[in-house]
Chains A and B, each alone.
Chain A
């Protein structure tokens, strides 16, 4: 009996733990590496937090969001305002309101408070936006990104500096695990399951009594909270940023990481982030110029981004469901009863007549 319980626990816990194994291995390896290597790995861990945060909304609702960088920006800017040493802060922003001007928070509250604010902002934004579905919602999130860029450009200084550099290997790993656990708990909760049902078939879910807008709003807020944490961590890793940091480039990177791993899978979000981070690191070395003795490839800024874009195009072309598809990583030991494979209509390919996918036809 106890053995069966253990096995059940392993089966539930494994999909969450498995994608974290490569993350853990890379982190441990880098702990003995150089400072530069550690920085790269910390950035990867921060990206895990950001992409898992994005996944909580996008993966479960099926609506791609181009606006989540807004919450990353809120995390980074607000965390900066709350944690920059008082002397620097009062010199940089002499007109802050009293509470913020005097605030000098530690690392953990300086990460959580901005994330809560990001969640609160998301709640307000979700009231209009979550009434929309599909493409219209995506366009609205794109508008959100543009609005955030204008507001940051107007309200903020062009560069924001002086954040304490306290995102360490340990803290970023801890937050990455927290993010994955939040996502796992959410997607197996009632709200998460109802939202997934609406993603797979919105009409049927509505007919079964699911309040799709409500579930989407909840996911949006939790997602913004986690992305806000990622933003705060990012701010404390870089120490400085500008409004352009939180614009199309960052949006694109998050989308690539999610799509490469598999947009509908938590394991995919983590694996995709790791895979893209490794590829980016390789591309960065090429971009800086490669001297192979005979062949000398000169430094070419922009090459890394071109490689990243082509990677996404190739994935969309040959494996649009991403590395993991909609699956999670299953417990490897034999199963007691065989489950039917998850129906995945994308294997059928597009309808020869309309070119639309079979899944759409049935809907």
Chain B
């Protein structure tokens, strides 16, 4: 009886972890999928948007937290907008490979610029320390941060869906993702749509950075690498360029990660990520349209 109770608690704990990580991953994946859907760009510099947001938060440290949130979000969105103008607009329309290499270069420049300016060591940040403390619900520890992560993801995903379905700009964006050429002939301003997509990916990156900074308590030049990898993998699972697919893909990826963590024997647990990545290759080979798509594969 006691064992059953412990087991149940263990399971519930893991489910909460999975949902929390899954919703964070879903958020990360959206930024990748949004840009890819519209301009066929696998934005390897997306992680550096998160990193830039992290350093903005570091700069703003000490200010009241709502101010930190607003300024970090606005600053990152502006940065993403600038990134598109400076680095991606000149090569727009090149083949997907050239675009990907370009974003690799942008990522590399930004990472190392951060090292030049701030040094390569991680720097501690005091932000929302109280959120780490767990809330006790019926004997189960739920860190407040987990609840905030789930809430933030839910709000942002719903917000994005409403934006894409209800607003004119959102509808233009979906049209551009469907068929850029026809959309343009019908009067969609491609420059505006792409700029908007980058601004939104900047907003998402800032939200992710805030959650990560509270969780880890530090920022570093390489802090964007892991989220980037997660985002790409989730977008692959969901079928590149599909927003709903990417969100669900991210959620699944988070759940699988926690499930493997909880069930793998200790001596091979270190290989968990390698298994997840191998799974991604398998998805690419056997279900190139993503795990969740019903319709014909998209040519990538």
Contact = CB atoms under 8 A, between A and B. Distances in A.
A334 B115 CA distance: 52
A316 B281 contact: no
Interface in B184-221: 184-185, 190
Interface string B148-188: 00000000000000000000000000000000110011000
B104 A252 contact: yes
Given A309-B105, A356-B93, A300 B281 contact: no
Given A138-B100, A252-B108, A320-B94, A129 B185 contact: no
A144 B273 contact: no
Given A136-B300, A306-B113, A357 B87 contact: no
A308 B120 contact: no
Contacts of B300: 134-136
Contacts of B284: 132, 136, 139-140, 143
B277 A309 contact: no
By CB atoms of chain A within 10 A, which of B91, B97, B113 has the most? B97
A33 B106 CA distance: 36
Nearest to A251: B104
Contacts of A256: 105
Contacts, number: 145
A128 B113 contact: no
Interface residues of A, number: 50
Given A128-B281, A128-B282, A310-B109, A255 B97 contact: no
A308 B115 contact: no
Interface string B52-86: 00000000000000000000000000000000000
A140 B236 CA distance: 10
In this complex, which of B91, B113, B236, B284 has the most chain A Cβ atoms within 10 angstroms of its Cβ?
B284
Interface in B242-280: 270-271, 273-274, 277-278, 280
Nearest to B118: A302
A18 interface: no
Interface string A239-281: 0000000001000100110010000000000000000000000
Q: At the interface, is chain A mostly helix, strand, loop or mixed?
A: helix
A357 B94 contact: yes
A151 to B, nearest CB: 6
Contacts of B90: 317
Contact of B190 (A136, A154, A309, A355): A355
B101 interface: yes
Contacts of B109: 305-306, 309-310, 313
B97 A309 contact: no
A353 interface: yes
Contacts of A62: 97
B270 A143 contact: no
B112 A305 contact: yes
A103 interface: no
A147 interface: yes
Interface string A35-70: 000000000000000000000000000111010000
A353 B184 contact: yes
Interface in B99-136: 100-102, 104-106, 108-109, 111-116, 120
B274 A139 contact: no
Given A136-B284, A350-B92, A301 B102 contact: no
A360 interface: yes
Contacts of B285: 128-129, 131-132, 140
A344 to B, nearest CB: 14
A259 to B, nearest CB: 6
A64 B120 contact: no
Given A138-B97, A306-B116, A309-B106, 10 more contacts: A62-B97, A134-B300, A135-B96, A135-B97, A144-B277, A252-B108, A303-B112, A316-B98, A320-B98, A355-B92
Interface of B: 40, 42, 87, 90-98, 100-102, 104-106, 108-109, 111-116, 120, 180-181, 184-185, 190, 225, 229, 232-233, 236, 240, 270-271, 273-274, 277-278, 280-282, 284-285, 288, 300
